[in-house]
Chain A
Amino acid sequence: MSFQFDFPFARRAFAEALLGIPVTLSVVLAAFLAGFPLGFLIARCRLRRTPVISQILTVYVSFARGTPVVVKILLFYSLLPPALEHAIRVLGLNFSIYDLNPIVYAFIIFGITSSATYSEIWRSALNGVDSGQYEAAVSVGLTPFQAYLEVVLPQALAIGAPAFCSSTLSMLKGTSVVFLMAILDITGRARLAAAMGYKYLEAYVVIFLVYLTVCGILEQVFKLLEQRLVRFRAS
């Protein structure tokens, strides 16, 4: 089988794929903005062993982490819209759920998944901060909230930074499955181009390169943030 790599097509597919970057990044950003603080709250509740809530959260985390994103997408995307549509009709609202941009589902699914993943990182990071640090802070007269904000959090962030970075990067790569919901992210755009030109290999090479670049840039951003925390790390 002879094969020729179609460079002009690849260039066009590349331009297409670039248009998907904002979509991919918006899913990552939304999931981060929801999952990062949520993960912190989950971790705190579980560390404090708040009765009932703590057990519920343990189940939540193992469900959210223990199921592939693809499965969650297939499940959510086929279950949620009919259910919501029904609810809307019952409430007598004049609005069709099918008008909703599917990216909202992506936000929810990745928000849930990342909240669970981040919560595990938060948990070990918060555990890694010596309890004497909190004690010294409240003994100096800081309120428990101030002690957390001023003393415990910077150290926990420093401990967790590498794991936060790598899990965010793998989430970014994982968002490529949102094309299943007809969302035009990097993968979605490139696949669309591929399907129209019947040139799949070129498109896949393009996808590969675009993710590599975007991940590389994001990693550098994390590195910069990490450097600002380095002094809080245990020697």
Chain B
Amino acid sequence: MQIIALKKSFGKTAVLRGIDLTVPDGKVTAVIGPSGSGKSTLLRCLDYLEKPNSGRIVLDDIVLNAEQPHKKDILALRRSTAMVFQQFNLFRGRTARENVMEGLVQVKRMSEKEAGVIAEHYLNEVGLGSRMNYYPRQLSGGQQQRVGIARALALEPKVILLDEPTSALDPEMIGEVLVVIGKQAKQGKTMLIVSHEMDFVREIADEVVFMDDGLILEQGPPRELFLNPVHERTRQFLARVFQNFDYAI
């Protein structure tokens, strides 16, 4: 996936001020940066949940030009990507299995039976084989997020977008969700993840992108970026998050 000169403002405030980024196939790209730097907005633009003002998003043969977006391209882009939300956003009133089946039945036009088999496969994959028929409200936050991940995986998207998938979770549930994401990363799924879990990012990311104030300030493999940040802003940010982390222990 290629993002070219992507810009987005809310009214007069420019939130993305020209993002150029390549998300390589089969790799995990992590986006870090201070609050309000535009990380969520970037991910949301990639699924067209937010309408970018200018720039292009290229994914294989899909070219979405933000200035002249075609409905067909928006749909194609959404169908080649899948979002894992901070607040899970599981479909209310649908069981875990039905949540995963929805896209398969409505979009991929599978029969209920086929979709059910695939849903069960992916729910097993995230360790929820025993919770297939539970409704979201009957599941813990960690379990809900794992359903959210299964729902994204089942669509076999080209890119999985994860926006702080663990930040709405109680601390004791973060681990189980990170394990599931880590497992998928090792299987070579293409991911773009926003996370404040620096240890996790260091472990699974192939490339780390530091965003500040609507721009990508620098990027590189985690070891380089974490150990030898070039920019002062990056250094300050890393010092702050690692210090907080120490406090937490």
Contacts and interface: CB of A to CB of B under 8 A. Distances in A.
B89 A136 contact: yes
Interface residues of B, number: 24
Interface in B129-169: 135, 137, 151, 155
Interface string B57-90: 0000000000000000001001101110101011
Contacts of A139: 47, 49, 78, 81-83
A140 B103 contact: yes
A21 interface: no
B249 interface: no
Given A132-B85, A133-B91, A232-B92, A138 B78 contact: yes
A151 interface: yes
Interface in A192-235: 231-235
A126 B171 CA distance: 34
Given A132-B85, A139-B78, A234 B107 contact: no
Contacts of A138: 47-49, 78
B84 to A, nearest CB: 9
Given A146-B106, A235-B137, A140 B82 contact: yes
A158 B78 CA distance: 28
B93 A158 contact: yes
A8 interface: no
Interface of A: 130, 132-133, 135-143, 146, 150-151, 154-155, 158, 231-235
21 contacts: A132-B85, A132-B87, A132-B89, A133-B89, A135-B89, A136-B89, A136-B90, A137-B91, A137-B102, A138-B48, A139-B82, A139-B83, A140-B82, A140-B155, A141-B103, A141-B106, A150-B106, A151-B102, A158-B93, A231-B135, A234-B92
